Structure 1
Amino acid sequence: MRKSLMLFVIPILICLSSFSDAKGEDSENISLKVATIDWCPAICVDSSKPGFIREIVQEVFNDTEVTITFHFMPWVRAVREVERGLFDALLSPVKSEAPTLLYPEFELGQQATCFYVDKDDPWKYQDKNPSFQNRRVIIVKGNSLLHLDQYISEHPEIFIYLTFSNFIERAINMLNFDRVNTFVYTKTETEFQLKNMGMSEDFKNAGCVSTVNLYMAFANTNTKRSNSLIELFDRKMAVIRKTNRIESILAKYGLHDWR
């Protein structure tokens, strides 16, 4: 047992020493600055209930020399500043949203992106044959809807962009004033917020675009440092995945393991 622990610890210490070489940091205090957004229940500002993705990341780097700080900002800015190397990592993109960043093997969750309409609206989104006739749709600026991205860019008369900040509240307000009749957002976050607002019965899911993995993405401006962090991340996630820790974290938010 002791031998197996030593085999696990030694590679991690080697990884951590490479961080110091790359950045000139004290190996006892490796700073990891993470750019992110307020996106409950996945990532929340409230440190008492920080969101399941944020909790998983904290679990990954627990008992290491890595000190994490989370910096909340608009999504487009978060992506751009990690790409420029002003922050070390980004939470929590799908790969198509930030393709130039570096990604670990293990994902932090899954994202289903769905269309929502008034409860009495008969419209349904059909992924194999989508029709947006008589639709005005709100989407998040900077979000990728994968195979719909080109269609969206070619039909600005249909799609309206809003930033992440208070997206659900603003989208509902626009629906109530008949400025639009549809919004598209991530399923977990939409249903979490509608429940908190007491409006779960007022809107319905009209169909989903896709389900894709969410990641912690690392800056590519210092590949040696980022690759060392990625190696550590994957080593720790491999260990955590053998326990029920992720399921326990998700249970706090009324969710289940996506795997």
Structure 2
Amino acid sequence: MQTSLRFLFIGLSLYFWLPASQAKTQDIPGTIILATTDWCPYACEKEPIKKGIVHDYIEHLVAQQNRNLELVFLPWARAVQEVNNGNNHGLLTAVPAEAPNLLFTRQPLMAYQMCFYGLADATWRYQGHSSLSSTIFGVMANYGYGEPLDSFVSNYRNTNVVKLAGSDGLERLVAMLEKGRLDSFVADSHVIDWHLKQRQKAPFQSLGCLSQNPFYLALSPKLPWAAEFLASLDKALADTKNRAWLAQQIKIQYQ
């Protein structure tokens, strides 16, 4: 009896003295569930083959860890809320301004550039913060566009900003522009390029762009394995072979 207790004690001691990294790794689930919105060409809900540049990239990286990626497509504001409430592990793409309560990779996934778009005969041009008051423009609620636009949009006194929520945001912004309800709207340049390819026509023009900004993957801080998974993902994102894989996929599938 004493011998059995001794072996039990030794076994428990070895368990609790395992390196912390080993214990944490066992807690990371086999499937990482990330919320996102339909944001082609980065993440595409309705594309049967091309699932999106970032979707394919992160799926490739988590597969290197023998894990799977599952995406949940939601309107953007709800996607952020669901992660904050603990209903999904994280966000596929985000910037800290959109979800300041979450934990982010240190390495960016890609970069985006927000531009103003108007009809072909538009004369207004984006020329920094001072030019924002002279146009009625549309944005999606809770999106992080970058400065100085985020600060301007968050000011409730700016009645010339139209904020939309829900799904099919880009289609609705384009429709409002074409009906004369907006002078311009703001969207990512890659998203617009993708949109125009689907429509096979260019009903609007770029009126000026903000600086490029990186975006990241984010996880809920409530997850006990979040920090370790993000660290492993940062290592993979910094790997030159993985960056080359991403560049090749963009060239083959999305340009």
- TM-score scaled to structure 1, two decimals? 0.82
CA contact (8 A) 2:176 2:182 kept: yes
Q: Distance in 2 between matches of 1:193 and 1:204?
A: 13
Q: Where does structure 1 lack aligned partners over 5 or more consecutive residues?
A: 1-12
Q: Give the structure 2 partner of residue 38 of structure 1.
A: 38
| Correspondence list, 1:175-190, <5 A | 175-190=177-192
Q: Secondary structure at the match of 2:35?
A: strand
Q: Distance in 2 between matches of 1:126 and 1:253?
A: 34
Q: Give the structure 1 partner of residue 55 of structure 2.
A: 54
Q: Distance in 1 between matches of 2:62 and 2:77?
A: 26
CA contact (8 A) 1:91 1:216 kept: yes
Q: Give the structure 1 partner of residue 229 of structure 2.
A: 229
Q: Give the structure 2 partner of residue 126 of structure 1.
A: 127
Q: Give the structure 1 partner of residue 11 of structure 2.
A: none
One-letter code of the match for 1:143?
Y
Query: Alpha-carbon deviation of 1:178?
Result: 1.3
CA contact (8 A) 1:106 1:237 kept: yes
RMSD over aligned CA atoms reads 2.2
Q: Give the structure 1 partner of residue 16 of structure 2.
A: none
CA contact (8 A) 1:15 1:231 kept: no
One-letter code of the match for 1:220?
P
Q: Give the structure 2 partner of residue 159 of structure 1.
A: 161
Query: Alpha-carbon deviation of 1:211?
Result: 1.5
Query: Alpha-carbon deviation of 1:18?
Result: 1.3
Corresponding position: 1:18 with 2:24: yes
Q: Secondary structure at the match of 1:99?
A: coil
Moved more, 116-125 or 173-182: 173-182
CA displacement 1:153-203 (0-9 Å, x = unmatched): 233420111136222221222122211111111111012102211232x21
Q: Distance in 2 between matches of 1:95 and 1:72?
A: 20
CA displacement 1:15-51 (0-9 Å, x = unmatched): 575143x47x6xxxx2211111111001012352111
Q: Where does structure 2 lack aligned partners over 5 or more consecutive residues?
A: 1-18
CA contact (8 A) 1:89 1:217 kept: yes
Q: Give the structure 2 partner of residue 73 of structure 1.
A: 74
Corresponding position: 1:90 with 2:91: yes
What is the total number of aligned residue pairs between the two structures? Answer: 234
Q: Percent identity?
A: 24
Runs of 4+ in 1 over 6 A off after TM superposition: none
Moved more, 38-47 or 240-249: 240-249
Q: Distance in 2 between matches of 1:47 and 1:240?
A: 29
One-letter code of the match for 1:140?
M
One-letter code of the match for 1:144?
G
Q: Distance in 1 between matches of 2:183 and 2:243?
A: 44
One-letter code of the match for 1:49?
K
CA displacement 1:208-239 (0-9 Å, x = unmatched): 123211111111112x3001111221222233
